[in-house]
Structure 1
Amino acid sequence: MRRTLLVPTLIMTVFLASCGGATPVSESTEPVTEEKEMSTEQVPDRWEATKIGTTVSHIHGAGFWQDGRPVIATHTGLMEFREDGWYELSSNRHDYMGFELVADGFYASGHPAQDSQYENPLGVVRGTEKGETLEIRSLEGEADFHYMSVGYETESIYVYLEQATKELAPGFYRSLDGGVSFEPMKMDGIEGRGIAGISADASEPKRVFVYGPDGILVSDDGGDTFEPFNDQGNIVTMATAKGQLSYIAKTGTSFDLVVSDLTEETETSIDLPSMSADNVPIELVMEADRLLLATSDNSVYVFEDEGWTQLLKAGNVN
């Protein structure tokens, strides 16, 4: 599954210099896993109805909970959509970045709430029970991953680290142990290309995609070597599900959504919902025949039964 942010394109000459060229970045010593707020007590419902008139800002991730409800990660915690409107989790109201759903929970990074016991930044967080239970996997107080993708079934993590930590230089990394430790990706085959985002395959642990103004590239060895997947122009966001891939390409001032069946090797175009000219898709999530879309003005749409429904308009809860 893919979670992506609206981000400036990363020019390859810049990040290659940051990685030190031919000198490999030392793999970090395995961080100590910390567990906090690990109560297993069952609480009937710690979600509160969001007040009418609330303005939602900074959507940093989206997905479908295991019960099918859409969820978004915002500047002030998690919100889910129910039949009667939006609800927000009353606990763990952190500024989640890199939010990604997996089969029984989620991963995220970001910044803790002001009253939190966690250090800033959060590092890599594993959430369960819809965010009521959190576990720090690594890099608490050191890393805030804005660019993070996690395989829905595999929990393989692929990140771009913008600022150095005690052990890691800026660059691309993978974690095949759920965020406990990271190793650098060689990224051969992408020289001269702009990279806007990264997307882990949902079911293949070492399959990862990168995308940007030159289309989509794919790696089957954990990001060490890449080859072209398609050259459909400027890809602004993409998502994966088991055996599927979807992406949104920008042509001029318009956007086109395509869903690919990787097994049948077929592609289907889907009309996007009507958006203003200055609005840009920033989050795309797919689950079977459903899609979830968030845009730069903090609007949220769900696609199901061959049609789009708007769940949030320009961040305003009605």
Structure 2
Amino acid sequence: MKRLYNLVALMTFLLISQIPVSVFAHGTEEDQTSLALQKGLTYTLVISFILCVLFYTLFWLSQKKIKQINHKKKEERMQRDKFRRVAKVYKWLSIFFLATFLNTGALTLFNRQSFESTIEFQHIHGLGYTNNGEELYVPAHDGLRIFSHDEWGIPEGEKHDYMGFSITDEGFYSSGHPSPSSNMKNPFGIVKSDNMGRNLERLDLYGEIDFHSMTAGYYSHVIYVQNPEPNSRMEETGLYYTLDDTKTWEKSQMNGVSGQPAAMAVHPTLENIIVISTNEGVFLSKDYGNTFEILMDIAATSLAFAEEGDLFVGTITEEASLIKVNINSGEETALPIPGLSDGDAISYVAINPQDSNEIVFTTFQKDIFLTRKNGEHWEQIVTKGVATTN
């Protein structure tokens, strides 16, 4: 009987030791908490089932042993009583783990349904449409979210923290950090995906630096980055660009820019045209960022080019606004937008490449609005980081 007890203890220890440490970690991030809860419930379900079967088997073996004991001898009667006490323990342990299994199963089902039915955005680090105009992708700190045919979903792929996310006609470029369950190095440097995150190709500075400010030409695939510190490929801080998928880098002089850079966007087809916003205005360059001229004398929080080359600018003075600018003539057209909360502003803008009347923007307070009528009517598809249609 002592051997059986030791076997039970050993199996219990081995089973529990297989649970990842992350299940018990107390993180401050919502994605880690949800993942840990789901994993914890799953492992508890498996372990409680195995232990229920194990203790019931031990109970059955004990009962069988009791029947084989000769009740006429005092020593064997004492042994019988001992087996009965042990069998009673096994019986109640099997009942306990059966109840644990049933309750955990119900909780697991409820948690999975709740988790899968609620699409949330802890942060928003970019925005962009696929080339066919049918899918909108949003990096949300714990992986991508996709909006397609008026429904939100979570696409395949690891739940990475994408930063500097820049979608193109063939996929996306990004920087950022790997998910807690990934074996990739942190930070990403620059990575590329041609299947919307199911696989990542490591391009440059892998494991060395994270670019928060990054943009790529939708069709040209030129990449511009604001380098925050010297690294193995860039000797100085500042604006750099590459025309060959990071094989070589060129440093832009940024002459004419004043203020602290906030956002930037590159023309979809003309790789030499880049726009940078600061707290002092919006600046346009037509020579790869070497020289800039002021385009708008107003602080801007977001920039995005449309298919035909018009620039969309999210600005804020007394209230947030969205302005379409012809970069050649300087003509400005204000688009009506829904009223935002006090202190909120537009953080990212994207225009459908197949329909310039379809515009979407995000806000710093994690709202997302969409129009299919060039601003005449807006629908809110995310409210304070929670999808409102799915």
TM-score, length-normalised on structure 1? 0.78
> Deviation of residue 66 (structure 1)?
2.6
Is the 2:156–2:197 contact (alpha carbons within 8 Å) kept by the matching residues of 1?
no
Is the 2:205–2:233 contact (alpha carbons within 8 Å) kept by the matching residues of 1?
no
> Deviation of residue 79 (structure 1)?
0.7
> Deviation of residue 112 (structure 1)?
0.9
Partner of 1:315: 385
- Alignment CA distance shift 1:130-1:50 (3 Å): farther
SS in 1 for 2:154: strand
Partner of 1:172: 239
User: Following the alignment from structure 1 to structure 2, what is the Cα–Cα distance between the partners of residues 101 and 234?
Assistant: 25
SS in 2 for 1:107: strand
User: Following the alignment from structure 2 to structure 1, what is the Cα–Cα distance between the partners of residues 227 and 143?
Assistant: 22
SS in 2 for 1:51: helix
Residues 24-83 of structure 1: per-residue CA shift (max 9 Å, x gap):
xxxxxxxxxxxxxxxxxxxxxxxx997334532111011112332221011111110133
Structure 2 counterparts to residues 102-113 of structure 1, below 5 A = 102-113=168-179
Residues 257-297 of structure 1: per-residue CA shift (max 9 Å, x gap):
11124467643211112221132211111232221111112
Structure 2 counterparts to residues 146-295 of structure 1, below 5 A = 146-168=212-234, 169-190=236-257, 192-231=258-297, 233-241=298-306, 242-252=308-318, 254-262=319-327, 266-287=331-352, 288-295=356-363
Is the 2:156–2:198 contact (alpha carbons within 8 Å) kept by the matching residues of 1?
no
Is the 1:77–1:95 contact (alpha carbons within 8 Å) kept by the matching residues of 2?
yes
TM-score, length-normalised on structure 2? 0.64
Partner of 2:23: none
Is the 2:320–2:340 contact (alpha carbons within 8 Å) kept by the matching residues of 1?
no
Partner of 1:128: 194
Partner of 1:38: none
> Deviation of residue 164 (structure 1)?
2.6
Using the TM superposition, name which of 94-103 and 297-306 deviates more: 297-306
User: Following the alignment from structure 1 to structure 2, what is the Cα–Cα distance between the partners of residues 166 and 262?
Assistant: 35
> Deviation of residue 206 (structure 1)?
0.9
Q: Which has the higher helix share?
A: 2
User: Following the alignment from structure 1 to structure 2, what is the Cα–Cα distance between the partners of residues 65 and 85?
Assistant: 15
User: Following the alignment from structure 2 to structure 1, what is the Cα–Cα distance between the partners of residues 232 and 313?
Assistant: 35
Partner of 2:364: 296
Q: Which has the higher strand share?
A: 1
Residues 98-140 of structure 1: per-residue CA shift (max 9 Å, x gap):
1111111111100011232321111111111222132111110
> Deviation of residue 194 (structure 1)?
3.2
Q: Please, which runs of 5 or more residues in structure 1 have no aligned partner?
A: 1-47
- Alignment CA distance shift 1:84-1:302 (3 Å): closer
- Alignment CA distance shift 1:132-1:83 (3 Å): same
- Alignment CA distance shift 1:118-1:167 (3 Å): same
Q: How many residues align?
A: 268
Structure 2 counterparts to residues 23-42 of structure 1, below 5 A = none
Runs of 4+ residues over 4 Å off in structure 1 = 262-265
- Alignment CA distance shift 1:167-1:203 (3 Å): closer
Q: Please, which runs of 5 or more residues in structure 2 have no aligned partner?
A: 1-112
- Alignment CA distance shift 1:188-1:179 (3 Å): same
Partner of 1:36: none
Is the 1:138–1:181 contact (alpha carbons within 8 Å) kept by the matching residues of 2?
no
> Deviation of residue 314 (structure 1)?
0.5
Using the TM superposition, name which of 161-170 and 274-283 deviates more: 161-170
Matching residue's letter, 1:111: H
SS in 1 for 2:127: strand
Larger RCO (CA within 8 A; separation ≥ 6): 1
Using the TM superposition, name which of 263-272 and 77-86 deviates more: 263-272
Task: Give the root-mean-square deviation of aligned CA atoms.
Answer: 2.1
Q: Percent identity?
A: 28
User: Following the alignment from structure 2 to structure 1, what is the Cα–Cα distance between the partners of residues 173 and 218?
Assistant: 10
SS in 2 for 1:307: coil
SS in 2 for 1:121: coil
User: Following the alignment from structure 1 to structure 2, what is the Cα–Cα distance between the partners of residues 81 and 173?
Assistant: 32
SS in 1 for 2:196: helix
> Deviation of residue 223 (structure 1)?
0.8
Partner of 2:10: none
User: Following the alignment from structure 1 to structure 2, what is the Cα–Cα distance between the partners of residues 152 and 50?
Assistant: 33
